[in-house]
Amino acid sequence: MSRIPAEIFKAYDVRGPVSLLTPEVAYWVGRAVGAQAKQRQIKTIALAGDGRLSTPELMAAAEKGLVEAGVSVCNLGMACTPLLYFAAKYYADASGMMITGSHNPPEYNGIKLVLGGETIDGAALQALREQIEADELPRSASGVAQTYDVFADYCTAVAQTVQLARPLNIAIDCGNGAPGAVAPQLFRNLGCEVSELYCEVDGHFPNHHPDPQVLDNLRELRAKVIELNADVGIAFDGDGDRLGVVTRTGQMIPGDRLLMIFATLALAQQSGHVLYDVKSSRAVAKWVQQLGGTSEAIPTGHSHMKRKLKQTKALLAGELSGHFAFAGWDVDDALFAAAKLLAAISQGLDLDAELARLPQCLATHELQIALTGSGHLLVKDIAAKAQFPTASSISLVDGLRIEYADGFGLIRASNTTPVLTLRIEADDAAALRRIEHELAAAIAPLPFPHYTVD
C-alpha cells in the first residue's frame, strides 16, 4: 500500500510542500533509509535539520523511522548541511539524512540522503520509494539515537586546511537560515572581524529569502560592505551549501565567474580538471584552457557534481547556482568555499581586479517559465522538432545547450520545480537577439520571458 506521494521524490532529493512532505512521510523515508543501510552493513546515520518551522517534526519522525529500522542515529539537532556532511564522514559510516528545504519557499521542506558516501538520487531515490510502497521495511530493536555536537571538530578541520595570512573585515548575510548559527563563529575563529546580517535562525525568513543568487536578496549586504569598507561580503542559502559573494565595491559575483576565480587559484598550484554545470558560461572552459587546465560540462545538480568530482579526480567543481566542491573536501560546503576565498583574499586576491580580467560577455539570468505538464517531456519534444539555424552544435548532457560561434542558449527542465529554465549568453547585443529569436521559436507557443542582461 502506498503511503507517500510519488511527486515529492525528485531528481536529487525528496522535496515538496509540507502538505505532502508530512511527518508520516518522513517516518517512512527514515524506515526505508534504515533498511537500505542495514543491507549495506551501515550501522550509524547522521541526522540534522535546518531552521524551518516544519523541520523539528520531520526530524523527530525521521529519527523514529531510522531507530525502528535498527540503525544508530547521530542527531545533530538544528544544523546546516556542511555540518551534516562532516558528521556523516567522521561519525556515521559516511551516511546522513538532512531535513532541509534549502532555498525553497517557507512552506516547502525536503530530505537529502547520503549512504556510504554516495548521494541517493535518481533511480536509487525511486527504488527507496518503491521499497516503501512494497512494505519491504523490516523492524529491528537494535537502533538507538544520541545527540552530537560536531561544530568544534568541524572548525578544527577547516582551520587545518585553510589559514588566513592576515585578519579580514567581512560582512555575512545568512538570510535567517541555519548557517547563521555557526558561520559568524567559524569566521571569527579564522581571524576575521565579522559584521552579521540576519544570522538569527528564523523559519519565517522575515528579512529576505535565503537565496544568495538573487540580486535583490544581497541588497543590504552590498550596502553593509560599502558602509564598512569591508574586504568582502558573504551570503549563504537556507542550509549552507550555496555561496554568494559581494566584492568590496559592491559587485555580486555570479556562480560561474566565482568558479573561474577558484579555478585560477587551483590551477596556479597544479594542473588539473575543472567541472562546470550546463547553465554556466562558456567562458569557463576557455578560461580553464588558457590557464593550462581541462574542463567538462556536467548536468546541473549537487549529486552529479560530487559524483563526477570523485570519478574524474577533478580539482574542483561548481555551478551557476553557487554550489562548489573541492578535491579533498569533496562536498558542496559553502562555509568551506567561503573560507577558501577568504584565505585567497588575505593573501592579496583582489576580487574586483579578478572580475575585470575575466572574459566579458552579455548574459541573462536564469529565466523560468511555469509549466503545468512535464518539463522533461517538453524538452524532449523540443529537441526532436526544433531548428537552430545558426548553431554550431547541440549538447544533450542536461536539456538542450545550443552552442554558437558567438554565444549559447539553454533550454532545460528544472529537476526541483515545474518550470522550464532558459539562459542566453552572447558576445554582443546582436548575437543575443539572434539566439533569443531561435530559442523563442523553439519553445513556441510558450512566451519568451522578459529579461535583463548583465
Q: Note the pLDDT tens digit of each residue in 149-202.
A: 999 999 999 999 999 999 999 999 999 999 999 999 999 999 999 999 999 999
Which amino acid makes up residue 101? G
Grid coordinates representing 323?
A: 554550489
225 and 119 housed in the same domain: no
Whether the CB-CB separation of 92 and 76 falls below 8 Å is answered with no
210 and 245 housed in the same domain: yes
Query: At residue 246, does pLDDT exceed 80?
Result: yes
Which amino acid makes up residue 166? R
Residue spans of alpha helices (H) in 375-428: 375-385
pLDDT score at 287: 97
Question: What would the pLDDT profile of 275-331 be if each residue is shown by its tens digit?
Answer: 999 999 999 999 999 999 999 999 999 999 999 999 999 999 999 999 999 999 999
Query: At residue 224, does pLDDT exceed 60?
Result: yes
Backbone angles phi, psi at 230, to 5 degrees: -70, 160
Question: What would the pLDDT profile of 34-50 be if each residue is shown by its tens digit?
Answer: 999 999 999 999 999 99
What average pLDDT does this structure show over 391-408? 96
Residue 347 covered by a domain: no
Question: What would the pLDDT profile of 328-364 be if each residue is shown by its tens digit?
Answer: 999 999 999 999 999 999 999 999 999 999 999 999 9
Domain count, the chain: 4
| Residues in a beta bridge with 426 | 362, 407
Residue 242 covered by a domain: yes
Query: At residue 225, does pLDDT exceed 60?
Result: yes
194 and 128 housed in the same domain: no
Residue 46 covered by a domain: yes
pLDDT band of residue 374 (cuts 50, 70, 90) is confident
pLDDT score at 452: 85
Residue 348 covered by a domain: no
Which range of residues forms the domain containing residue 267? 253-336
Cβ burial 220-238 (10 Å sphere, 16+ → b, else e): bbbebbeeeebbbbbbbbb
The share of the chain scoring above pLDDT 90, in percent, equals 92
Query: At residue 219, does pLDDT exceed 50?
Result: yes
Closest CA to 397 of 386, 407, 383: 383
- We report the CATH number of the domain holding residue 389 as 3.30.310.50
What distances in angstroms separate CA 451 from CA 372, 379, 393, one per listed residue?
A: 22, 21, 25
Residue 355 covered by a domain: no
258 and 243 housed in the same domain: no
257 and 221 housed in the same domain: no
Residue 323 covered by a domain: yes
| From 54, 72, 95, 102, active-site residue | 102
pLDDT score at 11: 86
Q: Let me know if 102 is a catalytic residue.
A: yes
332 and 286 housed in the same domain: yes
125 and 12 housed in the same domain: yes
In whole angstroms, give the CA distance from residue 29 to residue 429: 49
Average pLDDT value over all residues in the chain: 95
pLDDT band of residue 141 (cuts 50, 70, 90) is confident
331 and 411 housed in the same domain: no
pLDDT score at 1: 39
Q: Which of 214, 234, 250 is the last residue of a domain?
A: 250
Question: What would the pLDDT profile of 96-116 be if each residue is shown by its tens digit?
Answer: 999 999 888 899 999 999 999
Closest CA to 11 of 448, 416, 422: 416
User: Degrees (nearest 5) of the Cα angle 367, 239, 310?
Assistant: 85
Q: Can you say whether residue 117 is alpha, beta or left, with left for phi > 0 and alpha for psi between -120 and 50 degrees?
A: left
- We report the CATH number of the domain holding residue 41 as 3.40.120.10
143 and 72 housed in the same domain: yes
12 and 130 housed in the same domain: yes
373 and 317 housed in the same domain: no
Which amino acid makes up residue 259? L
Residue 346 covered by a domain: no
30 and 118 housed in the same domain: yes
pLDDT score at 85: 98
pLDDT band of residue 416 (cuts 50, 70, 90) is confident
Query: At residue 77, does pLDDT exceed 90?
Result: yes
